[in-house]
Amino acid sequence: MNKIIYSVLFTVGIIISIQAQDRGVYSQAHLYPVFINPAYTGFSGSHELLFGYKNSHATFADAPKTFTLSYDGLVADRVGLGAMLFSENLGELQRYRAQLSYAYQFEVNEFKMSAGLTTEFQQNRLSNRSLLSDFYEPGDAVLEEAIDGIQFFDATIGFYAEYQERFIFGFSVPNLIRARIDQATVMTPDTDNTFFKYFTLLLGHRFIIEDYNFKVEPSILLRRLKDSPFFADLNVKLSFLDDQLIGGLGYSLGAGNKVAFLIGTRVNNFRLSYSYDIGLGGFQVYNNGSHELTIGLSLNRTPKRVKLDDDLELEE
């Protein structure tokens, strides 16, 4: 009986403890808002293909490794569609997400705005090696269901806006409708009503120094996520020569304070961003920080139009 109790606590504890990771895992969310906000789908005006990789707490045994593949694009006038695949390995736990997103854009005076919706399938499962654990006892319903895979349907809504391409505002509500869809015999706390309990808020501003082809973009990202304390990311992004050279610093408060360093580049339609996070807590002595790499490719990127006079326009 003790083994069954321990296994229940162990399995449910693992599943709960990492639920916040899916939206909180990205250190570069201020660079790629589509990772956390469906309203950004197609907002850039081009078709964007992104590949993300993060190795959290590197060198620590069985630390999380996350892979993300994302596509979004403007497929019709004002309509953006997107899809994303997410995979994470954390010890014996394997997590998968597949999402489809839709966004509609509109303009009011000098505001460019978008509202979006994401529907999502999630699966959390333990590897078969869990059957070799000392905690496992034949007939343990919790562990056996976790090995088969615990599946959820979820949804996220979002709003994103830019004013004169300088002021940035993004707001999204994850875990809007969370329902377990597998044939469950043992219920988990993840079936709680989460309607409008959680959110992410992005605020930023682009200061453009045109004479030197230089931009400074401070931003703040506030996140209240499922099974995670409230925390904030403070970031400053510096870009030179139309983003051919990008640098930045970040500081996180709340869920384990950390400092992040960013470097990146954009060459034509190709983008590359790398960030390194260092935790400021005691756990940092047991690992080598976190590494995050994002590769982006813009397909048939919409050129900007620069107005020269009343009758002439030039594509940039």
Q: How many other CB atoms are there within 10 angstroms of residue 282's CB atom?
A: 7
Tokens of 247: 């640098």
8 Å CB contact between 237 and 29: no
Cα separation, 185 vs 80, in Å, equals 39
CATH class of 2-301: mainly beta
Non-local (6+) Cβ contacts of 103 within 8 A are: 38, 39, 40, 41, 42, 43, 79, 80, 81, 82, 114, 115, 116, 117, 158, 160
For residue 112, the cross-strand partners are 107, 162
Q: Where do we find the tokens 């620590």?
A: 60
Per-residue pLDDT of the chain (316 residues; tens, 9 = 90+): 444 444 444 444 444 444 444 555 788 999 999 999 999 999 998 999 999 999 988 888 888 899 999 999 999 889 999 999 999 988 888 999 999 999 999 999 999 999 999 999 999 988 877 777 776 777 777 777 888 888 999 999 999 999 998 999 999 999 888 888 887 666 555 555 566 688 999 999 999 988 888 999 999 999 888 767 788 999 999 999 888 999 999 999 876 688 999 999 999 899 999 999 998 888 888 888 899 999 999 987 544 444 444 554 444 4
Domain ranges of the chain: 2-301
Rg (CA), the chain: 21
8 Å CB contact between 99 and 118: yes
Non-local (6+) Cβ contacts of 306 within 8 A are: 313, 314, 315, 316
Identity of residue 134: D
